[in-house]
Amino acid sequence: MLPRVAISPTDSPHQNGLLAALPAAEYERVVGELDLVELRLGEVLYEPGGQLEHAYFPTTAIVSLHYVLHCGDSTEIAGVGNEGMIGVSLFLGGNTTPSSAVVHTAGHAYRLERCLLTAEFDRGGPMCHLLLRYTQALITQVAQTVVCNRHHSLEQQLCRWLLATLDRVPSGQLVMTQQLVASLLGVRREGITAAAGHLQHAGFISYRRGHISVLERSGLESRACECYAVVKKEVTRLLSDLQYLPTTENF
């Protein structure tokens, strides 16, 4: 069981884009049921075939959705940060999924019990509309990741992944090892070492054990394939036109 964390003034549900996009009435209905939890690096929120009991709305944590093969190998099919939520199968009716959800950047998230999420979804109101829009955005990310892994170089994949992570960690300081990045991309560590070395030589990143610092984002963008921009554009298209953004007095 993940520990519940006391909410501080800097830990507001509206740090998560989906919760922030709820209109006042829906927000007030769910905010009292949200638990702030700490997500630790490597923590598994659900495993393949497991029954999900909660939805998670990350604020500062980033969660990796993995597809796990019978041999134990896995590859990230999508990442979820403060733009989204973990647990779409809860309201789509599948209840379980062949993927797993693993924390790759420690931080916090708001947790909501499955029965409360499904009840809100079944109302057919703004929460339902918002979650369906997000699901389409998530499907786009999964599809584009498959294409990227098949057709683009490892350096391009690494740039895409770094840029997507940067969108969720604005500081530009990423705490992770090359082995972790290699496992997320489903490649050998030696390949990540070579690709990261090229980016460091170009002055785009600096790397020391367990830490990656992005020095020049525009450089990563110049080396990345089109997949990063395709996903970002689609997520923006699907979510930015929602008219539910509450004002600060609602909090």
Same structural domain for residues 125 and 140? yes
CATH code assigned at 163: 1.10.10.10
Same structural domain for residues 145 and 215? no
CA distance 195 to 185: 12
Looking at residue 72, its pLDDT comes to 74
- Residue ending a domain, among 149, 177, 199, is 149
CA distance 214 to 206: 7
- Residue ending a domain, among 115, 149, 183, is 149
238, part of any domain: no
Cβ(196)–Cβ(177) below 8 Å: no
Query: Token pair of 136, please?
Result: 């389409």
Q: Note the pLDDT tens digit of each residue in 41-56.
A: 999 999 888 888 999 9
State if pTM tops 0.85: yes
Of the candidate ranges 151-155, 161-165, 183-187, 237-241, the one whose mean pLDDT is the lowest: 237-241
Same structural domain for residues 91 and 178? no
Same structural domain for residues 177 and 80? no
233, part of any domain: no
234, part of any domain: no
Sheet arrangement for strand 35-39: 35-39, 107-113, 54-58
Q: Note the pLDDT tens digit of each residue in 101-138.
A: 999 999 999 999 999 999 999 999 999 999 999 999 99
Same structural domain for residues 80 and 163? no
Looking at residue 128, its pLDDT comes to 94
Same structural domain for residues 209 and 144? no
Same structural domain for residues 106 and 192? no
Same structural domain for residues 105 and 180? no
191, part of any domain: yes
CATH code assigned at 40: 2.60.120.10
Running DSSP on this structure, what letter comes out for residue 34?
Answer: -
Count how many domains the chain has. Answer: 2
CB atoms < 10 A from the CB of 160, how many? Answer: 27
Of the candidate ranges 19-23, 41-45, 178-182, 247-251, the one whose mean pLDDT is the lowest: 247-251
Same structural domain for residues 26 and 117? yes
- Residue ending a domain, among 98, 131, 149, is 149
CA distance 103 to 41: 5
Same structural domain for residues 157 and 144? no
Structural domain including 195 reads: 153-224
Mean pLDDT of the chain: 88
239, part of any domain: no
pLDDT band at 178; cut points 50, 70, 90: confident
61, part of any domain: yes
**Burial bucket for residue 125 (CB in 10 Å: 0-12, 13-18, 19+):** middle
Of the candidate ranges 5-19, 161-175, 219-233, the one whose mean pLDDT is the lowest: 5-19
Q: Phi first, then psi: what are they for 108, rounded to 5°?
A: -125, 160
Looking at residue 40, its pLDDT comes to 95
Please state the rounded mean pLDDT for residues 148-164. 94
Please state the rounded mean pLDDT for residues 198-204. 95
Same structural domain for residues 142 and 195? no
CB under 8 A, 24+ apart: contacts of 30-36: 30/112, 30/116, 30/120, 30/127, 33/112, 33/113, 33/116, 34/110, 34/111, 34/112, 35/4, 35/110, 35/111, 35/112, 36/4, 36/5, 36/6, 36/7, 36/11, 36/108, 36/109, 36/110, 36/111
Q: Note the pLDDT tens digit of each residue in 209-251.
A: 888 999 999 999 999 999 999 999 988 888 876 654 433 333 2
Looking at residue 204, its pLDDT comes to 96
220, part of any domain: yes
Percent of the chain with pLDDT over 90: 65
Same structural domain for residues 102 and 25? yes
128, part of any domain: yes
